[in-house]
């Protein structure tokens, strides 16, 4: 969340707001090639369950338009492509060119063509018409956005009446013991893992810090309501380590 219009958080650091996007871009340029492998290692594969639950809650049907925002390497896009079929459309959008290239190559290698388009886009100013998408998902991307309120308002604008937004993101564990274990794992283990596997401990230090700076469950729910969603709720997973927030536009 930006501070006073010109300062914001980059992990635990305070930086100029207009520099954060480039700093985040550097992180994801660095981690793009090892992103899928590190996701599996860091979460012990559980991220696949979190994403599968998100897909189930989305309830995509043939013919729908879906925006997979901050879609990275395309895990959600691939499944949505199957669900909406030839009459539907999925847009994998990401602000980071490196992630978009990895995602496009991966999906094309997996035979995903035809109903998927790739767009480099900033979540704060989405380049799509009003009332355009039936479903918008953003998985593990909102915490990296500089102006989260602006991004949520942009998503609300391009969502059709009757549509839904699903925000899958790391959140706040619901008991002290889990929080303590999670902190140890995040700051003592993950950066070392990043160094060994991806040759980059600093990026994974930032990613752990960015989780702690992200709004908690109730705060994000209120931000979605403030952005114009008519209703919002959330479901905790893995004791609140991750939460799926759902916003509805009527």
Question: How crowded is residue 202: how many other Cβ atoms within 10 Å of its Cβ?
Answer: 14
The answer to whether 39 is a known ligand-binding residue is: no
> In sequence order, what E strands does 22-172 have?
65-69, 89-94, 116-120, 133-139, 159-170
> In sequence order, what E strands does the chain have?
7-10, 13-16, 65-69, 89-94, 116-120, 133-139, 159-170, 231-237, 242-248
Query: Beta partners for 10?
Result: 13
Angle at 244 between CA 126 and CA 54, to 5 degrees: 80
Relative to beta strand 116-120, strand 89-94 is parallel
Helix (H) or strand (E) holding 106: helix 97-109
Cα–Cα distance for residue pair 120/103, rounded to 1 Å? 12
Query: Beta partners for 135?
Result: 66, 164
Q: Please, are residues 99 and 93 in contact by the beta-carbon 8 Å criterion?
A: no
The answer to whether 121 is a known ligand-binding residue is: no
The answer to whether 151 is a known ligand-binding residue is: no
The answer to whether 122 is a known ligand-binding residue is: yes
Q: Please, are residues 206 and 187 in contact by the beta-carbon 8 Å criterion?
A: no
Which is nearest to 31 in space by CA: 247, 210, 166, 225?
Answer: 210
Q: Please, are residues 145 and 69 in contact by the beta-carbon 8 Å criterion?
A: no
Question: Binding site for S-adenosyl-L-methionine, residues?
Answer: 73, 94, 122-123
Question: Binding site, residues?
Answer: 73, 94, 122-123
């Amino acid at each position: 969340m930006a501070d006073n219009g010109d300062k914001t958080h980059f992990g635990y650091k305070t930086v100029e707001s207009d520099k954060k996007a480039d700093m985040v871009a550097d992180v994801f340029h660095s981690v793009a090639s090892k992103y899928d492998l590190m996701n599996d290692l860091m979460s012990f594969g559980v991220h696949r369950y979190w994403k599968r639950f998100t897909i189930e809650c989305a309830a995509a049907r043939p013919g729908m338009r879906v925006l997979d925002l901050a879609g990275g390497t395309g895990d959600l896009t691939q499944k949505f492509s199957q669900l909406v079929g030839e009459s539907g459309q999925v847009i994998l959008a990401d602000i980071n060119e490196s992630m978009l290239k990895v995602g496009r190559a991966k999906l094309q290698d997996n035979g995903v063509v035809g109903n998927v388009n790739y767009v480099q886009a900033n979540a704060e100013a989405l380049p799509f018409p009003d009332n355009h998408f039936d479903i918008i998902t953003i998985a593990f991307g909102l915490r990296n956005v500089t102006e989260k309120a602006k991004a949520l308002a942009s998503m609300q604008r391009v969502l059709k009446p009757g549509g839904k937004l699903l925000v899958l993101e790391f959140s706040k564990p619901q008991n002290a013991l889990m929080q303590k274990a999670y902190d140890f794992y995040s700051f003592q283990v993950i950066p070392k893992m990043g160094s060994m596997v991806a040759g980059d401990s600093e990026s994974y230090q930032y990613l752990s810090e960015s989780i702690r700076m992200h709004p908690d469950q109730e705060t994000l729910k209120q931000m979605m309501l403030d952005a114009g969603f008519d209703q919002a709720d959330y479901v905790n997973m893995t004791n609140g380590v991750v939460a799926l927030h759902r916003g509805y536009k009527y």
